[in-house]
Amino acid sequence: MIDIIGVRFKPGGKVYYFAPGSIQVKVGEKVITETSRGLECGEVIIANKKVPKSEISAPLKNVVRIATKEDMRTVAANQKKEEKAAAVCQEKIAFRNLNMQLVDVECTFDNSKLLFYFTAENRVDFRELVKDLAAVFRTRIELRQIGVRDKAKMLGGLGICGREFCCKSYLSDFQPVSIKMAKEQGLSLNPSKISGCCGRLMCCLKHEQNAYEDLLKITPKVSALVALSDGTKGKVVESNPLTGVLKVLTDKSEIPVKTTRDEVTLLKDSRIKVNNDELRALRELEGQ
């Protein structure tokens, strides 16, 4: 077992493990840690706890100290520097007439680097822009092109559900989302209905997929042949996996019978014998 803490450096960002040593921290406290970019200030998400060494993939970097008032003043000063850097960068982009959109600026805790995140439809030659920014701020400059999903995560906003973007509020890593998920969930394949503000398929499709997969395993699909509780055979013409409500068309009525998945038996899985007349009627229904 090894002692770790979990630290997040941005709201909704990924949680990283660090070795606290003899430092005891509480959830919500700010700490200064060693990272690949130098010292950084982050928020404790997971307090001191022991985990198996097998869960740790790489040597952990150390927690330097719990953030002091001086450290927090440095963080505030860096935030002001980021605002100034964003304004200057916007001016330089316009001056150079570059086809790119600045999304965010990040200043490392030790002021050793300024990172500029931007989006662009095509590759951008920003070498002259880097020189302009380095001349103004006299520090190391790094520009990173990001995708539209990362842009949405950084800027935030409200989704069509009225809540804050999942990626901004709590989703630390993007999960792959496919059009197959929308089909299995019975959603309209209209892009405007299943796409988020970033223009990509909504992340909530992935959140609900596991529940739909479990429900689809126990819910007869449309066109499935089933037997009702009274023994009548029919074909499913409408199926709702969430509620379990089915509409079954039988040869005894032109109006579908409303029932639930718990009140029917899937003929394929059952050993109910079907006589020739019933089989003929079911085949006729299947062909409709």
Which residue is it, tokens 């092109």? Answer: 145
- The Cα 119–Cα 147 span in angstroms is 6
The correct answer on CATH 3.30.300.20 for the domain covering 74-146 is: yes
Q: Let me know: does 109 contact 32? Beta carbons within 8 Å.
A: yes
Q: What is the pLDDT of residues 252-280, one digit of tens each?
A: 778 888 999 989 888 864 444 455 555 56
Q: Let me know: does 48 contact 32? Beta carbons within 8 Å.
A: no
Half-sphere exposure of 179 (CA within 13 A, CB side): 4
Q: Within its chain, how far is the Cα of 251 from the centroid?
A: 47
CB count in 10 Å sphere of residue 198: 20
Per-residue pLDDT 10s for the chain (288 aa) are 888 899 999 877 888 899 998 899 999 999 999 988 888 999 999 999 888 888 787 788 999 999 999 999 999 999 999 999 999 999 999 999 999 999 999 998 988 899 999 999 888 899 999 999 999 999 999 999 998 888 988 888 888 888 888 888 877 778 888 888 888 888 888 888 888 888 888 888 888 898 999 999 999 988 888 888 888 888 899 898 988 999 998 877 788 889 999 898 888 644 444 555 555 654 554 444
- The mean predicted confidence, pLDDT, of the chain is 86
Residue ranges of the domains in the chain? 2-67, 74-146, 152-215, 225-286
